A and B are shown apart, each in its own frame.
Chain A
Amino acid sequence: MSRAVTPARKTINTVLAWTVALILFFPILWTVLTSFKPEPVAVASPPVFLNFDWTLKNYYDVERQRDYFDYFLNSVIISLGSTVLGLVLAVPAAWSMAFVPGRRTKDLLMWMLSTKMMPAVGVLVPIYLIFRTLGLLDSRIGLTVVLMLINLPIIVWMLYTYFREIPGEILEAARMDGATLSSEIIYVLTPMALPGIASTFLLNVILAWNEAFWTINLTVTDAAPLTKFIAGFSSPQGLFYAKLSAASTMAIAPILVLGWFSQRQLVRGLTFGAVK
């Protein structure tokens, strides 16, 4: 809106917006603060905000006692792996649906999305047994494939909406210029859709990183990612607030920072292009 707003009005709005924002952000802020407190300070009553002896001991303890880094590595491998694998499958599929739509394309997309609606618990037992039979329990490969499959519909949808914005004439021009199908996708489509592919990538890394059903139920230790790591704090270690906070901060920090940088691109992807 181009209308001038009175400074008083703007001040009130600013105060209100910042208050709401800080309330929403407060649990995260509090967690990070607590992670630097000595354990007794963390449970002090009344609570202490800033005037305490800042310490990194909690981080050190968490890494030493709980092998944070192993979990972190698993999280990285599984979330990146599942996303890359998903993209490799989804780029050609989305090309097909965006540029050679058929009568059933819309139904197919809806069907893909509906597979996401299937409650995971409904199929937990068979998947668990299949994994046990195949020796995939607690393996990175198994988990990567599962996360790829549960996010595949979202990857296809997102890419589809991005691809649809690319004018078909440009791909036809490439075809007239003598490009084969693979050069058309590699040299023309992919570079043009790069922003869309990047935000699809980011969102799915975030979703895979935070996925907490399959990652908890299909792993024990070897392939366990950070969700499992955190679940291990549920009790009674959860009462050590400072250590819990340090572990939490370490689990969320990488993805939080990634999310901050990409938040603008994420919105469009998340709505499957339905909201501009």
Chain B
Amino acid sequence: MGQITLSGVAKRFGEAQVIPPLDLEIQDGEFVVFVGPSGCGKSTLLRLIAGLEDTTGGRIIIDGRDATGVSPAQRGLAMVFQSYALYPHMSVRSNIAFPLRMAGLPKAEQDRKVEAAAKVLNLTSYLDRRPGQLSGGQRQRVAIGRAIVREPSAFLFDEPLSNLDAALRVGMRMEISELHEKLRTTMIYVTHDQVEAMTMADKIVVLNAGRIEQVGSPLDLYRSPRNIFVAGFIGSPKMNLISGPEAQRFGAHTIGIRPEHISVHPTMGEWRGIVGVSEHLGSDTFFHVQETGLGAALTVRAGGEVSLHHGDTVFLTPEPDKIHRFDQSGLRL
């Protein structure tokens, strides 16, 4: 089981309201990602659920039991920290066994569970090493192993991949997703990286300044962002936002169009502009088109083989049904 309900949960540090009262429902077995820019309160929210911080208001209900005032140890949750937070003076084996030892399990049982977890995570041959002798990815797996053995009702991940290099990050992302498929346990995952959110989540919670901007599946958020903040945050490269007369033509205060929904033509199209910097990724090319007369440079995604040069004149055409319209207050129309 791992059903978590937040109702009216709020947090303030002294005068500063970090999280205004918010409600959230997390279903058993779901992979939920909290995403948002740094300082949006996503980590604080996770720490509130973990019990590492007190709430200043509201209730946290875990599996139908009010856990608001319960100590972290008794909430039945496990956490994987950004810095891994391994115990440097213990071997990998003792690290993974630590929660079991704290729970007072017999030694034989501890060993059995540690071995099993190590097998799942490919750590068997490293069990007698110290964390200091492991690579970043291995340390991450030890941290996960320490979480698994507790058989928690939910896993909490606090930006677990941000200390890894780019290549490892992709690998670990898949391993964690795979683990979720295998265990089918609730996972709450905090990240500032929208790619991680999009690739891993069943459900994304976009946070900004402590408020929930939108909750939904990755594709929901991509297709119909509820406001300009979500529109700009989800998707890479960022959605182009245009306001002014051109937006009014579409009956909106601001319109948004994603780079992948604009087509490029050398001689004809809706908007005329001059090619600035182009970024060739091989599979795709991103053009930054300037002097469009729209008040903003546009980013456009084109095929990898398209060849345009700095200073070329191009014509851009948006796909009409992929245009997002927002009103004065930034809400979707």
Contacts and interface: CB of A to CB of B under 8 A. Distances in A.
Contacts of A169: 81-83, 85
B114 to A, nearest CB: 13
B231 interface: no
B85 A167 contact: yes
Contacts of A170: 83, 85-88
Contacts, number: 63
Given A176-B72, A177-B73, A188 B87 contact: yes
A192 B88 contact: yes
A174 interface: yes
Contacts of B77: 176
Interface string B67-92: 00001111001110111011111000
A183 interface: yes
A172 B84 CA distance: 11
Nearest to A171: B85
- Interface residues of A, dominant DSSP: helix
A179 B85 contact: no
Nearest to B88: A192
B83 A167 contact: yes
Contacts of A177: 73, 78, 98-99, 102, 146, 150
B24 interface: no
B118 interface: no
Contact of B73 (A179, A188, A192, A194): A179
A169 B150 CA distance: 18
B102 A178 contact: yes
Contacts of A10: none
A39 to B, nearest CB: 54
A173 B73 contact: no
A252 to B, nearest CB: 35
B50 interface: yes
B103 interface: yes
Contacts of B83: 167, 169-170
B52 interface: yes
Nearest to A191: B89
B87 A175 contact: no
A152 B98 CA distance: 33
A91 to B, nearest CB: 16
B208 to A, nearest CB: 25
17 contacts: A167-B83, A170-B83, A172-B52, A173-B79, A174-B98, A175-B52, A175-B72, A176-B50, A176-B52, A176-B79, A177-B99, A178-B73, A178-B150, A187-B98, A188-B87, A191-B87, A192-B88
Interface of A: 167, 169-170, 172-180, 183, 187-188, 191-192, 194
Interface of B: 50, 52, 71-74, 77-79, 81-83, 85-89, 98-99, 102-103, 146, 150
Given A167-B83, A170-B87, A178-B74, 8 more contacts: A170-B86, A173-B79, A173-B87, A175-B72, A176-B77, A177-B73, A177-B99, A188-B87
